[in-house]
Amino acid sequence: MGNDHRFNERTFAMSLHATVTILPPAQNSAPVTLPAPWGEEQPRLDRHIELWLSETARLLGATPLPTDESRRSDVLRLALALAEAERIIKAQQAEIEKLEALSLNDDLTGLFNWRGFNRQVSVGLAEAQRTGIGGVLIYVDIDDFKKINDTYGHAAGNAVLREIAGLLSHKVRQHDSVGRLGGDEFAALLTRTSAAQGFRRVRDIAQALEQVTILHDGIAIPVTASVGAVAFSPDDSPEALLERADRRMYDCKRGRTRLEVA
């Protein structure tokens, strides 16, 4: 049905009562009783009812709207069925969107998960191909994360993961993307930026990561991370870009430096 003729829940209930009051119930069906008084709104509601029924009649190819009460009653029943079907479809669409969001996001941090971040990389590279402007991909790996879990417990480890996720999210722009790729690995995609500008921001992120201390249950937990970053161009592929950034991060970790860029 057209947007102009849709009701909110309250108006729909009023219109349903008004229409059933006017038209007889279907054969062998129980009468429908709903509370009414509407006062000054009644004439406007009557007009909405007519528009609603006329729209249903048009969709059914039964225009103009029948004047015979029995035929109008048929149109009413079909209108109610269409409205209920529309409600069910909307509920199903909302559930599908919810499930899709869950499949693309990490439950603990709210960031993109591996699947969601890979999708963002593909979108970012497609944008780079359209605009000719590349960007920078950052890989972050928390140092000795297993030791943090073993020493302070998994709740403390989760607090560390959420803190790093918040720091990275705060350090990027709205159109950039941040993901938790699994375990203690994170990534950030900086789009629409030159390599020089992107690496300046990478160094800012690396410096911020060097100063992280998590306070958990009254205990201060120092956290360090290894960071690798690579510039990308419109000619890059998602797989090659992710592999290069991952390799840079491990170069950093093996060299015990805090940042590797290329």
Write out pLDDT tens, residues 157-189. Answer: 999 999 999 999 999 999 999 999 989 999 999
Q: What pLDDT, on a 0 to 100 scale, did the predictor assign at position 41?
A: 58
Mean pLDDT across 18-37: 43
Mean pLDDT across 61-67: 63
The number of CA neighbours under 13 Å toward the Cβ of 40 is 0
Mean pLDDT across 37-53: 60
CA distance 149 to 199: 31
CB burial of 182-211 (b: ≥16 within 10 Å; e: otherwise) equals: eebbbbbbbbbbebeebbebbeebbeebee
**Sign, Cα dihedral of 254, 255, 261, 262:** negative
Q: Domain coordinates of the chain in residue numbers? A: 3-103, 114-261
What average pLDDT does the structure give for the chain? 79
Q: Of 14, 72, 66, 24, nearest to 45 (Cα)?
A: 14
Q: Which pLDDT band, with edges at 50, 70 and 90, does 140 fall under?
A: very high
Q: What pLDDT, on a 0 to 100 scale, did the predictor assign at position 18?
A: 47
Q: Which residues are catalytic?
A: 184
Reported as a single tens digit per residue, the pLDDT across 93-104 is 776 666 665 678
Q: What pLDDT, on a 0 to 100 scale, did the predictor assign at position 7?
A: 41
Q: What pLDDT, on a 0 to 100 scale, did the predictor assign at position 137?
A: 96
Q: Let me know how long the chain is.
A: 262
Give the architecture-level CATH label for domain 114-261.
2-Layer Sandwich (3.30)
